[in-house]
């Protein structure tokens, strides 16, 4: 297990590029790296508020010139792929080969390594990215993450209007706190380059398997409100997501996932293997974030 509690003095201050740094997971990773004394550079599509001691590069990950500039002097890269197509990643991989940093890629626990094709477009692009990075000889450390607890933030608007959360249903899964995924990522990113890292995918899950209704019940308990989950048929779920401003291609991918993705009863200790402590529960996440839903 990598040790991120060692002194981070002038003799060891790695430079780490965080992609997706404006998102729920990327923000957590960047904050933790900074707290450990790493030199953090964030790649973001749009300028965000100032973050002391964090350098930002504004631009598109798929723009080779932008990515090349972002990689200058970088020791490791936290990579989140934002598209539903791996084709635009080929120039990205070429830049990674030239710069030769350690690559930590966030993937999906829903990947079936025995399948020729994955259950839905979201899982398929993660599988394609894993193959692309490995075939390029980059030896990525792959973190296959389960459903992030922070996805529940998407229900906040409905909670302001009432006690029913309506949306497409999905198979039960071991929802994982994004803070645990971030801690696991940081442990790998800060590990010395001579450290023996398992190059098989780490599978990061929470400690319990939950349905959407289970998550809503835990949210209701924290808010002390009688919340319920209402599954929507595909046509109504599509209309709702499009009205929320989600891109049509993403909406279709999410609907495909709700129909085709299989239930997973798998939980692992991989968060603990990387961080030294067990993964937190979704109930704990809700308590820590309850103010966001009030």
Q: Which residues contact 210 (CB under 8 A, 6 or more apart)?
A: 172, 173, 174, 175, 218, 282
- DSSP collapsed to 3 states, the chain: CCCCCCCCCCCCCCEEEEECCCCHHHHHHHHHHHHCCCEEEEEECCCCCCCCCEEEEECCCCCHHHHHHHHCCCCEEEECCCCCCCCCHHHHHHHHHHHCCEEEEEEECCCCCCCCCCCCHHHHHHHHHHHHHHHCCCCCEEEEECCEHHHHHHHHHHHHHCCEEEECCCCCECCECHHHHHHHHHHHHCCCCCCCCCCCCEEECCCCCECHHHHHHHHHHHHCCCCEEEECCHHHHHHHHHHCCCCHHHHHHHHHHHHHCCCCCCCCCHHHHHHCCCCCCHHHHHHHHHHHHC
- Cα angle 120-86-184, degrees, rounded to a multiple of 5: 80
Number of Cβ atoms within 10 Å of the Cβ of 78: 29
The mean pLDDT value for 244-262 works out to 93
Residue with tokens 């899982």: 123
Lowest mean pLDDT among 50-59, 75-84, 165-174: 50-59
Q: How confident is the model at residue 4 (pLDDT cuts 50, 70, 90)?
A: very low
Instruction: Give first-to-last CA distance, the chain, whole Å.
Output: 39
Q: Which residues, at least 6 apart from 137, have a Cβ–Cβ distance to it below 8 Å?
A: 97
Strands 76-79 and 102-108: parallel
| The residue to which tokens 């971030």 are assigned | 182
User: Using CA atoms, how far apart are residues 109 and 199, in angstroms rounded to an integer?
Assistant: 15
Give the C-alpha separation, 137 to 157, whole Å: 44
Q: What is the pLDDT at residue 48? A: 67
Position 13 confidence tier, pLDDT thresholds 50, 70, 90: confident
Taking alpha carbons only, the member of 136, 135, 86, 76 closest to residue 107 is 86
**20-65 confidence digits (pLDDT tens):** 999 999 999 999 999 999 999 999 988 766 666 678 999 999 999 9
Phi, then psi, of 104 in degrees rounded to 5: -115, 115
Quote the pLDDT of residue 5. Answer: 43
| Lookup: tokens for 177 | 């706190």
Q: Are 3 and 33 in contact (CB under 8 A)?
A: no
Q: pLDDT tens digit string along 175-221?
A: 999 999 999 999 999 998 756 676 679 999 999 999 999 999 999 99
User: Which of 107, 80, 93 shows the shortest CA–CA distance to 21?
Assistant: 80
Q: In the prediction, which pLDDT does 139 show? A: 93
Strand partners of residue 167:
231
* Predicted local distance difference test score (pLDDT) of residue 294: 75
CA distance 154 to 165: 10
Structure tokens at 32: 């933790």
Q: Identify the residue whose tokens are 């990061």.
A: 204
Q: Which fold has domain 15-145+178-204+266-279?
A: Rossmann fold (3.40.50)
Q: How is the chain split into domains, by residue range?
A: 15-145+178-204+266-279
pLDDT tens figures, 93-148? 999 999 999 999 999 999 999 999 999 999 999 999 999 999 999 999 999 999 99
User: How much is the average pLDDT of 144-170?
Assistant: 95
- The pLDDT of residue 7: 37
pLDDT exceeds 80 at position 266: yes
- pTM score, whole prediction: 0.92
């Amino acid at each position: 297990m990598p040790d991120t509690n060692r002194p981070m003095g002038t003799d060891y201050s790695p430079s780490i590029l965080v992609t997706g740094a404006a998102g729920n997971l990327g923000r957590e990773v960047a904050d933790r790296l900074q707290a450990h004394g790493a030199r953090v550079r964030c790649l973001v599509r749009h300028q965000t508020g100032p973050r002391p001691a964090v350098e930002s590069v504004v631009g598109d990950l798929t723009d080779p010139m932008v990515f090349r500039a972002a990689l200058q002097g970088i020791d490791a890269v936290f990579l989140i792929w934002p598209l539903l197509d791996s084709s635009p990643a080929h120039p990205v991989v070429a830049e990674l080969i030239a710069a030769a940093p350690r690559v930590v890629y966030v993937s999906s626990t829903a990947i079936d390594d025995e399948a020729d094709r994955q259950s839905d477009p979201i899982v398929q692009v993660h599988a394609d990215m894993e193959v692309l990075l490995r075939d390029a000889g980059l030896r990525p450390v792959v973190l296959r993450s389960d459903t992030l607890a922070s996805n529940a933030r998407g229900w906040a608007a409905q909670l302001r209007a009432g006690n029913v959360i309506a949306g497409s249903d999905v198979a039960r899964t071991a929802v994982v706190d994004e803070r645990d995924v971030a801690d696991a990522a940081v442990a790998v990113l800060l590990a010395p380059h001579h450290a023996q890292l398992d190059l098989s995918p780490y599978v990061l899950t929470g400690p319990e398997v939950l349905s959407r209704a289970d998550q809503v019940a835990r949210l209701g308990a924290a808010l002390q409100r009688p919340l319920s989950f209402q599954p929507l048929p595909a046509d109504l779920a599509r209309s709702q997501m499009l009205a929320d401003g989600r891109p049509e291609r993403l909406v279709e991918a999410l609907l495909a996932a709700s129909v085709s993705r299989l239930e997973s009863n798998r939980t692992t200790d991989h968060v603990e293997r990387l961080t030294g402590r067990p993964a937190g529960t979704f109930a704990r996440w809700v308590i820590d974030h309850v103010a966001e839903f009030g």
